[in-house]
A and B are shown apart, each in its own frame.
Chain A
Amino acid sequence: MKDSQLLRGILEGCVLAIIARGETYGYEILSELEQSGFENLLEGTLYPVLTRLEKKSLITCRKEKSPFGPIRKYYSMTESGLSDLAEFRQVYGKITAAADDILGKGEES
């Protein structure tokens, strides 16, 4: 899946959903996204998303030395992040239902 406008629109929400499951870090988020089907997603795409979420105070991070040595940032949700995620899920549900309806009708015709 290429890094398209569609991906950019939903990536923030998906990253929030992964972080909401529990404290996690960059590579783990990347692996989870890959396992869910977001192929060829790169750290270069993920990092700006994490930076934006942190600046909006939707996630918070703590720093700790990783088992490999370098400092690793562990991300967790904030209260505003949780409410933002809930809102995203609602909006996403409505949009995908409407899109499925239109795209489904398009295929039939």
Chain B
Amino acid sequence: MSYLMYVDKLDAGYREVFGKIELYLNNTYVDDGTREEQLSELLDCLLSAQEAGKPVESVVGDDVQEFCESFCSGYDWKNRLLHFLEMLQTLAWITLVLNALHLLSLLADMPLAQALAQGGSFHMSALIIGALSGVLSGFLTKKLMFRMKKLSLHVLNIVTVVGAAVVIVLLSDALPVALFPIPVWAYLLFSLLYIIIYRIASRKRRAERAQYRVSFGQMVNEEIERTLDEDMRKEFASRNAKREKKRKTLLSWEEYLAQIEKECGKMEKMKGYFMCLPLIMTAGFLLGGWSVSGLEGMFEGFADLVFFICIILAVTYPIMFGLWKVTRKNAALRRAWLSTAPKADLSDGTPT
């Protein structure tokens, strides 16, 4: 959600109102694309009004609830249907993954045909009830958020998430037999069909949204770029404050720039470190386990060991690769800043 990067630009009063409208919209059944568009447009409008020195009431009026209801009055059944289909798609993916894993575990004890005829993953009952709880929670949030004005938005969010998690966890253990006795093959087939049909039908819409999508990495980099000059100056002051405490000679601005240049070089060479770290972590874990209980105690056979190693590497490599990309981008931004950083003019080395 790209608009999130700019919410910080709002003053406290504006931000509070925007937060309420965002909560209302997040609990209104509209597809993600429309909601993001609306919030982005509203945020731009609020920033424009703030820049013009106008009060937030000039955009939203005195009654935020009335504003929200009016703002959402343009939704029609198509928007709500799209939202419902989007929610089903998420459910379909979770169903597919849960039942695929369930099938894999059944195949250890029986042939494929028999495994497919078994009942679906027992988590399905809890998942469906959890999803319904989420819908109910959203409905109640919308109804209560303006009546209980002192209710913190954070409390509402936490209660919603914790409530849904508790329902899913409790029911997973309390209902060992699925409430909905549907065979594994049916769950797999229908969820796969749904995902394929949805993705084909929504291809154009997803392509439109992809044009404006901002990845997490881009958000991080834009934020870094926005505040880099100020952060680098603060870092200069901070390093000298530490040196002063240790009674060391203070850095001149030129010496500081030279340090940053050196650090950028080190950051650019860290690829090998990030790529080796998952292997080191896996080896460390296996050594630790071997020293405590021996490998025979940890794994049933060689296949188990290989499977475990593959899972660990499959999880840690993407994380390390992502961290490496952020580090590399950070180094590139610092180098770009270095090329435009002011040179020291004053005799005491402080930049102009």
Contact = CB atoms under 8 A, between A and B. Distances in A.
A30 B212 CA distance: 25
Given A44-B61, A47-B74, A63 B9 contact: no
Given A44-B68, A48-B70, A48-B71, A70 B60 contact: no
Given A68-B51, A71-B37, A43 B6 contact: no
A52 B3 contact: no
A69 B39 CA distance: 13
Contact of A44 (B43, B44, B60): B60
B71 A69 contact: no
A102 interface: no
Nearest to A49: B74
B285 interface: no
A42 B60 contact: yes
Nearest to A73: B41
A72 B48 CA distance: 11
Chain B interface bracket (under 10, 10 to 19, 20 to 34, 35 or more) = 20 to 34
A26 B41 contact: yes
A90 B265 CA distance: 71
B132 interface: no
B49 to A, nearest CB: 7
Provide the main secondary structure of the chain B interface: helix
A40 B43 CA distance: 19
B350 interface: no
B81 interface: no
Interface string A57-79: 00000010010111111000000
Given A70-B40, A73-B37, A43 B45 contact: yes
Contacts of A73: 37, 41
A52 to B, nearest CB: 7
A71 B2 CA distance: 8
B42 interface: yes
Contact of B73 (A48, A68, A70): A48
A80 interface: no
- Give the interface centre of A27, A40, A66 by most chain B CB atoms within 10 Å: A27
Contacts of A66: 44, 47
Contacts of B68: 44
A45 interface: yes
B40 A44 contact: no
A51 interface: yes
Interface of A: 3, 25-27, 30, 40, 42-45, 47-48, 51-52, 63, 66, 68-73
The 5 A-B residue pairs whose C-beta atoms are closest, nearest first, are: A48-B74, A51-B74, A44-B70, A69-B6, A68-B47
9 contacts: A26-B41, A27-B44, A42-B70, A43-B71, A44-B61, A47-B42, A69-B9, A70-B43, A72-B41
Interface of B: 2-3, 5-6, 9, 37-38, 40-45, 47-49, 51, 59-61, 66-68, 70-71, 73-74, 211-212
